[in-house]
Chains A and B, each alone.
Chain A
């Protein structure tokens, strides 16, 4: 199976900060990478697919980049509603796998 490793596992940031989350795959997954946002007690929501394409309705302060094994999710200016846990997920292999998550907390 392809292992997905996110860093950091958690971070504290203030409203307005620029936040970057990293996701690394155990082998090349080309650009077959999605990002999800999950708020406490809620189901995850698709945020970004195919590495860098925003799902409908997602604010432009979110962006994604990368290819091969290294990917990043960036929030350009953190807003109160962005405090959540973020997961990367690979669709390169038919056995889909997620990263362990990055919790973004209020400083």
Chain B
């Protein structure tokens, strides 16, 4: 069964750092596009970062220079290193597998999410 399980969320002070993990099962993260999507409390979805199968990464402007996505093939996991955290980074962070559907990409497998709260 294809599954994603996130961990690592919690309460962190502004300016602090946190690393989220996403453990995958049923497929290899190294052969897939993997992404992080976040959702602030009561708000909509915001794409954050992607790591392509070739290893190239891309980040939303809102987190560029502060967040870094990476993966570990031996652990079959994806990570999101979050530095210089701000109040506005408070959100549920979802790990998602991106699949090519015909000619476009779609988030077709999602984890259950992990909550990150940035507050003093």
Residues of chain B contacted by A36 (CB below 8 angstroms)? 45, 107
With both beta carbons as reference points, the residue of chain B lying nearest to A38 in the complex is identified as B45
The stretch of A17-25, A63-71, A76-84, A90-98 in contact with B is A90-98
Residues of chain B contacted by A97 (CB below 8 angstroms)? 47
* B111 at interface, CB cutoff 8 A: yes
Q: Report the interface size for chain A: residues with CB under 8 A from the other chain.
A: 26
Contact A91 B106 (CB under 8 A): yes
Q: Among the listed B45, B58, B102, which residue makes an inter-chain contact with A44, where contact means beta carbons less than 8 Å apart?
A: B45
* A100 at interface, CB cutoff 8 A: yes
Q: Report B7-40 residues with CB < 8 Å from chain A CB.
A: 35, 37
Apart from A36-B107, A49-B101, A89-B47, what are 14 other A-B pairs with CB-CB below 8 Å?
A31-B104, A32-B103, A38-B45, A46-B106, A46-B107, A49-B106, A50-B101, A50-B103, A53-B102, A87-B45, A95-B47, A96-B47, A96-B105, A99-B44
Residues of chain A contacted by B104 (CB below 8 angstroms)? 31-32, 34, 49-50, 91-92
* B112 at interface, CB cutoff 8 A: yes
Q: Give CA–CA (A98, B40) in the complex, Å.
A: 13
